Amino acid sequence: MSNNTRRLLILDDDPGVGQTIELIARASGFETRFTSSPEAFFQGVDEWRPDHIAIDLIMPEMDGVEVLARLAQRQCEARIIVTSGVDHRVLDAAGRSATERGLNIVGVLPKPFMPSALRKLFDLSEPLVITATGGRKGGAGTQVYSPDAADLQSALDQDQFFAMYQPKISCFSGDLVGFEALMRWNHSQHGFIPPDRFIASAENTGMIDALTERMLDISLSWFAPRYARSSVRLSINLSARSRLDDAFVDKLLARCTEAGVPADQLIFELTETSAMEDPVASLDLLTRMRMKGFHLSIDDLGTGFSSLLQLVRLPFSELKVDKSFVITAASSSESRQVIQAIVSLGQSLGIQSTAEGVEDAQTLQFLREIGCNFAQGFHIARPMEQDAAANWTHFTLQ
């Protein structure tokens, strides 16, 4: 078997469904295994190390929620698809619960499902990354490389970090309105290190500000000669662990000034949770950032439990709908209602809205109908390297 072959392990008590999933997966280039036994399933997870897992929620020996909990205990890194014939609200809740446990939920599929819906979830998964030592990256049970502060500093010194850029478009015209810059790490020995792992390490070791500053330098050097003083904006993510004080913000402004990019072309994205940890301090600091000209986006909106009264007091210029709702918009009426509520909130406050995770034309059409301003996602464009991004100008609406 080639090291590039993707592996799918299926746990389902219905042989007909399991065989159907196998057929669809094999046509998409997977090697597959199917079982209805939880014991055989966990043995396969530990020994076969699948890259993808498909799990039915309702089974006689062990329900899918318990299976997901045990996968989380194993720190399983496989991409997981949850399927079931239960009420779609229960199915969505199970998917959210698994995500909260740290599992990589690619999507949830209500039964019966169309083959095209399953194929789309396979297509959304990034290809396997083969490390420099020839190992498979991303499978369950693989040896995980956990960088420390010295590793991160060495990577900074050796310029191992680079940026990918994902276009953001107008929902109404398809015109390019901006790019979100996404940091990537190609380690000289361990190959591609997933962002969720090195960002978490940077946050835990106090290196996150250094990575943010490097990310800004990398992306501004690409952005400035092409888009400075245009209508296109550059979005940068700020971690909840970033030292968001006046000195740090002044550093960000100095870098923009040096690059010749006006502050109002920069959008800094903060998560709902980080913005609400200390609303009073956030209000002061974010107000100063807006006064310096920066735009502010509240990312992952709808995933936290913050008070809307507190939230609307903060000077955000953009609301960003979390992709967990957008990805399921085509199949979940609850997701559509959440998206519409967030977009309507933005409209009532005079704040623009962006939906991330747009994976199909139907969802993009829905966003246009409810008045969402901007969109990004694989249906529009995947994150791309700098040369490809520089040539990307427009998305043709269907």
149-391 — its CATH code? 3.20.20.450
HSE (side-chain half, CA atoms, 13 Å) at 42: 14
Q: For 132-157, write each residue's pLDDT tens digit.
A: 333 344 444 445 567 889 999 999 99
Give the torsion through C-alpha atoms of 137, 138, 143, 149, to 10 deg.
90
At residue 309, the pLDDT reads: 56
Asked if residues 138 and 146 have their Cβ atoms less than 8 Å apart, the reply is: no
At residue 315, the pLDDT reads: 85
Across residues 2-14, what is the average pLDDT? 79
Residue 30 has pLDDT above 50, yes or no: yes
* Residue range(s) in the chain whose domain bears CATH number 3.40.50.2300: 7-123
pTM: 0.69
Residue 126 has pLDDT above 80, yes or no: no
Q: Which long-range contacts (CB under 8 A, 24 or more apart) does 114-119 make?
A: 115/20, 115/24, 117/331, 118/21, 118/24, 118/25, 118/81, 119/24, 119/27, 119/28
At residue 139, the pLDDT reads: 42
Rounded Cα gap, residues 133 and 141, in angstroms: 17
Q: For 34-45, write each residue's pLDDT tens digit.
A: 999 999 999 999
Looking at domain 7-123, does it have CATH number 3.40.50.2300? yes
Confidence of residue 252 (pLDDT cuts 50, 70, 90): confident
| Nearby residues of 242 by Cβ (< 8 Å), 6 or more positions away | 208, 209, 212, 248
Quote the percentage of the chain above a pLDDT of 90.
Answer: 37
Confidence of residue 112 (pLDDT cuts 50, 70, 90): confident
Residue 311 has pLDDT above 80, yes or no: no
Residue 276 has pLDDT above 70, yes or no: no
> What value does the CA radius of gyration of the chain take, rounded to a whole number of Å?
22
